[in-house]
A and B are shown apart, each in its own frame.
Chain A
Amino acid sequence: MIEVKQPKRIPFIGMLQGMITVFKHGLQKPVTVQYPEQKEILPDRFRYRIFLSMDDCVGCTLCEQVCPNLTISMQQVERENPRNKRKLYPDVNFGTCTICRNCEEICPTDAIYLTHVFETARTRNSFTYNPEELGKHEEEVKR
Chain B
Amino acid sequence: MNILNRIQSILSPLGHLPSYAGAYIIETIIVLIFSVTVIAGMVYFFRKYMARVQNRIGPNRVGKFGVLQVMADGLKLMQKESIFPDGRDDLPYKLAPIIVFMGLILAFIMVPYSNLYWFGSLTITHSNVGIILIFAVLAIMPIGEILAGISSNNKYAMLGALRAVAKDISFEVPMMLSILAIIMISSANTFQPLNLQNIVSVQSIPFGILEPIGLFIFFVSMIARASYSPFDMGESDSELVTGDTTEYGGLRFGMFYMGLFGTIFLGSMLVSVLYLGGGSGPFESSIGFVWFMVKTIILVIISLTVWLSMPRVRIDKFVNFGWKILLPLSFINLVITGIIILSGIGGIA
Q: Classify chain B: how many residues form its interface, as a range.
A: 10 to 19
In the assembly, what is the distance between CA of A114 and CA of B55, in Å? 34
In the assembly, what is the distance between CA of A16 and CA of B257, in Å? 27
A15 and B55 contact, CB distance less than 8 A: no
A19 and B309 contact, CB distance less than 8 A: yes
Stretch in contact with the other chain, from B18-26, B45-53, B265-273: B45-53
A30 and B57 contact, CB distance less than 8 A: yes
In the assembly, what is the distance between CA of A143 and CA of B49, in Å? 43
**Shortest beta-carbon distance from A33 to chain B in Å:** 10
A22 and B57 contact, CB distance less than 8 A: no
B51 and A22 contact, CB distance less than 8 A: no
**Shortest beta-carbon distance from B83 to chain A in Å:** 34
Binary B-proximity of A4-21 (CB < 8 A = 1, otherwise 0): 000000000001001101
Contact of A30 among B55, B305, B306, B308 (CB under 8 A): B55
B56 and A32 contact, CB distance less than 8 A: yes
Complex contacts, B306 vs chain A, CB 8 Å = 19
Complex contacts, A22 vs chain B, CB 8 Å = 53, 305, 308-309
Q: Residue on B with the closest CB to A12?
A: B216
Answer whether A18 and B56 are a contact pair too, CB < 8 Å, given A26-B49, A30-B51: no
**Shortest beta-carbon distance from B232 to chain A in Å:** 16
Answer whether A15 and B57 are a contact pair too, CB < 8 Å, given A26-B52, A30-B52: no
Is A42 among interface residues, defined by CB-CB distance under 8 A?
no
Contact of B57 among A18, A28, A34 (CB under 8 A): A34
Q: Residue on B with the closest CB to A16?
A: B309
B56 and A30 contact, CB distance less than 8 A: yes
Which residues of B, 269-310, contact A by the 8 Å Cβ criterion?
A: 302, 305-306, 308-310
Binary A-proximity of B302-330 (CB < 8 A = 1, otherwise 0): 10011011100000000000000000000
Complex contacts, A23 vs chain B, CB 8 Å = 53, 305
Complex contacts, B49 vs chain A, CB 8 Å = 26
Complex contacts, B51 vs chain A, CB 8 Å = 30
**Shortest beta-carbon distance from A45 to chain B in Å:** 27
**Shortest beta-carbon distance from B46 to chain A in Å:** 12
Complex contacts, A124 vs chain B, CB 8 Å = none
In the assembly, what is the distance between CA of A74 and CA of B310, in Å? 61
Complex contacts, A26 vs chain B, CB 8 Å = 49, 52-53
Is B54 among interface residues, defined by CB-CB distance under 8 A?
yes
Is A25 among interface residues, defined by CB-CB distance under 8 A?
yes
Complex contacts, B309 vs chain A, CB 8 Å = 15, 18-19, 21-22
Show the binding face of B for A, using Cβ within 8 Å. 49, 51-57, 60, 302, 305-306, 308-310
- Nearest first, the 5 A-B pairs at minimum CB distance are A22-B309, A18-B309, A26-B52, A26-B53, A19-B309
Given known contacts A22-B309, A34-B60, what 18 new A-B pairs fall within 8 Å (CB)?
A15-B309, A18-B310, A19-B302, A19-B305, A19-B310, A22-B53, A25-B52, A25-B53, A26-B53, A28-B55, A30-B55, A30-B56, A30-B57, A31-B55, A31-B56, A32-B55, A32-B56, A32-B57
